[in-house]
Amino acid sequence: MGKSKDKRIKKLGKKRIWLSVVGLLFILFFFFCIIMAILAASTIDVMQRKLSAGRKQSEKIAQLCEEYEEASVGDMGNTLLTYIDLLPEIEAVSIMGTEGEQKWSSNGVYPDMNRAADLDFLTDMLQLPTRVIVEEDYSRMFEIEDGTIFFSKDVLNKIDYQQLMDTENYFTTEESAPVIYFKVWFVMPAMQGNVMVLNQISLYASDLFMMLVSLAVCTFLLCVFTLYYMISFISVLVNMYRTTKLIYTDLVTGGDNWLHFVKKGTSLLKRKAPNRQWYAMIHLKMRKYRSFCTCFGVREGEELIEKFYCALKKQMHRKEIIAHRENAEFGLLMLHTSKEQLIARVNKMEEALNEVLPGMKFYFGVGVYQIEAGEQDVEQLYNNALTACDMLGEEAENKIAFFDVEMNKQRLWERMVEDDMDRALVNKEFKVYLQPKISTNEEKLAGAEALVRWIHPTQGFIAPDRFIPIFEQNGFILKLDDYMLEEIAAQQARWIAQGRKIVPISVNVSRAHFTREDLAEHIADIVDKYQVPHDMIELELTESAFFDDKRVLLNTVKKLREAGFIVSMDDFGAGYSSLNSLKELHIDVLKIDGDFFRGTEVGERGMLIVSEVIELAKKLNMKIVAEGIESREQVDFLAAQECDLIQGFFFAKPMPIDEFVEKYNEA
């Protein structure tokens, strides 16, 4: 799988997940800030009201002290004690001189004046005109920073939660036990000294009611938004799972598709295989699947693939995977202990596949690549198995091919040929070679066949059988045929301009050309560009072309002959020989394939067949050319049978144009 495609699949859904996570974290942080702000504001407001009330009471006590002279401290003390009894919030009153000397206390308790200055910030923050001293160690009770009050563990331990949760206290007029309390000294200047009033500041549930309501609302909203985002987050995860499942599901079989095969296969290959076992990559395909679909329908074909997948799935072991590739092709990653055991398993799979539809015989091709340790590129490994299967050819049935180095070399060669072919055509690396055709009666030059040779800048001379089959598969043969026709027409034109006698030269026309309706006009346009007589160009077609679009072929041959071109049938008798083609296809020349003469001398049966073919061609007004002639005996036999022309190594091999001109200079 490509890197960009892999990245797109991995990114699928990630942005949505992070969006939900970031949104949830933002909401949590936002409500946390609101709660902290409400808590701080409510606490400061309640404390300010409570401390303000305590300050007012302390001011009244200070005014009482001002009414007495210093000499009557005893009377003042009695009055203060009575007042204190009436005010339960006041626990003690102390009077200290300007120098800090202790003059009088209601219960013998005096504040620590050294700590009074430390709480100036509290006085300023609560906007109290008096100084405040906390009775207990305030640093362990609460801390105020940037307007926010932070209560310590000691203060929290003093909270009466049961009292706080008792909702009946919210609306009762009688105060119950406080939820939070602490003691504060108020320092009031009086009597040329200071009056110190110790107050117990108590916070009740009713005081915190609004704060609790606000916190409850915020908590509720926080829960709602948290629940919403959690549901959204879970929904995203579910959608991601479904999307991932869809991405990795094959639409034909309903099982794992190729993307999952590559991902899972890579993961398996990274791990160590079980003891004494190795992985093998297998490409298995049903042959003639398109024919099956043509006969029974595409829907039935897909149902057959699904049944094949289920049958193969049952044959797979633990730590083995299978996926549908395309058409009726499957990729399998299997464990094996030996080559023989692997072949036996594959044969068993083919038997299971043939049981899918009883009474119908299926044929399969199998390519195998035995994976070496450390190899993890699933796509490349599968390509090796595919290459091995392709080497079997379409006619091989129920055979297993194992990938080897030579197959890889062949693939590399095909790649090099396809990479260089366009450049070679432009640079005229394809050279025209001519093989003479000799008349049997005078044994003189009567024609020639144009053959192509590739002179590669780095590979040197490349024989036709190494690149022509590749060109026929990829369609480049169409350009090469046009190139050869134009080269021959140009050469004929040069010879005519030089005053030389010219002979007909045959050029091959691939069967791939006969898909176009205007082929005859196309050929005529090329030749007419050089003003060469049409009868000096012979067009050779193979008999196999007759089995393609017969209508186009017959129409094209008719047009070519009417235009004055010579049309010949090449390789007659090689594989597709059919008298029916001679009946319908009107041609000028019949070329007998060299296999009739190659290897051994022409025997009695061979002589009979060749003589009958020659006699038949004569009756149909065709000239006869015999290819592949390599001995005098063959020449004499053909001459006796009145064969018109002979082409073969006995007279001459294919040669460059310059050598052809030099050898047949008198032509």
Q: What is the CATH number of the domain that holds 561?
A: 3.20.20.450
Residue 359, pLDDT above cutoff 90? no
Mean pLDDT check: name the lowest of 183-192, 420-429, 469-478: 183-192
Residue 554, pLDDT above cutoff 80? yes
Residue 486, pLDDT above cutoff 70? yes
Count the helix, strand and coil residues of the chain and give each as a percent rounded to the nearest 5. Answer: 50, 20, 30
Alpha-carbon separation of residue 570 from 520, 591, 660 (angstroms):
18, 5, 22
The reported pLDDT for the residue numbered 154 is 46
Structural domain contains residue 533:
yes
- On whether both 522 and 468 belong to a single domain, the answer is yes
Average pLDDT over residues 197-210: 73
Q: How many domains does the chain have?
A: 3
Q: How many helices (H) and strands (E) does the chain have?
A: 21, 22
- On whether both 501 and 611 belong to a single domain, the answer is yes
Structural domain contains residue 241:
no
Task: Report the mean per-residue pLDDT for the chain.
Answer: 79
- On whether both 466 and 362 belong to a single domain, the answer is no
- Token representation of residue 642: 């009145």
Alpha-carbon separation of residue 571 from 130, 153, 440, 557, 568 (angstroms):
123, 105, 20, 17, 10
Residue 157, pLDDT above cutoff 50? no
**Rounded Cα gap, residues 292 and 300, in angstroms:** 9
- On whether both 385 and 504 belong to a single domain, the answer is no
**Band of the pLDDT at 147, cuts 50, 70, 90?**
very low
Please work out, in degrees rounded to the nearest 5, the angle formed at the alpha carbon of residue 604 by the alpha carbons of 602 and 609: 80
Residue 520, pLDDT above cutoff 60? yes
* Tokens 């791990």, residue located: 271
More confident residue, 244 or 127: 244
Give tens-digit pLDDT for 597-606. 765 555 677 7
Structural domain contains residue 253:
no
Closest CA to 106 of 214, 13, 198: 198
Structural domain contains residue 239:
no
- On whether both 498 and 560 belong to a single domain, the answer is yes
Cβ neighbours around 203 below 10 Å, total: 19
Cβ neighbours around 505 below 10 Å, total: 21
Final residue before a domain boundary, out of 356, 372, 403: 403
The reported pLDDT for the residue numbered 582 is 76
The reported pLDDT for the residue numbered 623 is 92
Judge residue 288's burial from the number of C-beta atoms within 10 Å of its C-beta, 0-12 exposed, 13-18 middle, 19 or more buried: middle
- On whether both 494 and 462 belong to a single domain, the answer is yes
What domain range is 52 assigned to?
A: 14-217
- On whether both 508 and 636 belong to a single domain, the answer is yes
In eight-state DSSP terms, residue 363 is: -
Structural domain contains residue 147:
yes
Final residue before a domain boundary, out of 217, 235, 269: 217
Which range among 96-100, 246-250, 411-415, 442-446 has the greatest average pLDDT? 442-446
Please work out, in degrees rounded to the nearest 5, the angle formed at the alpha carbon of residue 189 by the alpha carbons of 184 and 193: 110
CATH of the domain at 374: 3.30.70.270
- Token representation of residue 105: 């206390």
- On whether both 382 and 425 belong to a single domain, the answer is no
- On whether both 389 and 434 belong to a single domain, the answer is no
Structural domain contains residue 472:
yes
Supply the pTM of this predicted model. 0.55
Final residue before a domain boundary, out of 168, 190, 217: 217
In sequence order, the 6+-apart residues with CB closer than 8 A to the CB of 562 are none
**Band of the pLDDT at 114, cuts 50, 70, 90?**
low
Give tens-digit pLDDT for 32-83. 777 777 777 777 777 777 777 777 777 777 777 776 655 566 667 777 777 7
- On whether both 443 and 389 belong to a single domain, the answer is no
- On whether both 64 and 111 belong to a single domain, the answer is yes
Rounded percentage of the chain residues whose pLDDT exceeds 70 = 79
CB 527 within 8 A of CB 537: yes
Residue 206, pLDDT above cutoff 90? no
- On whether both 20 and 165 belong to a single domain, the answer is yes
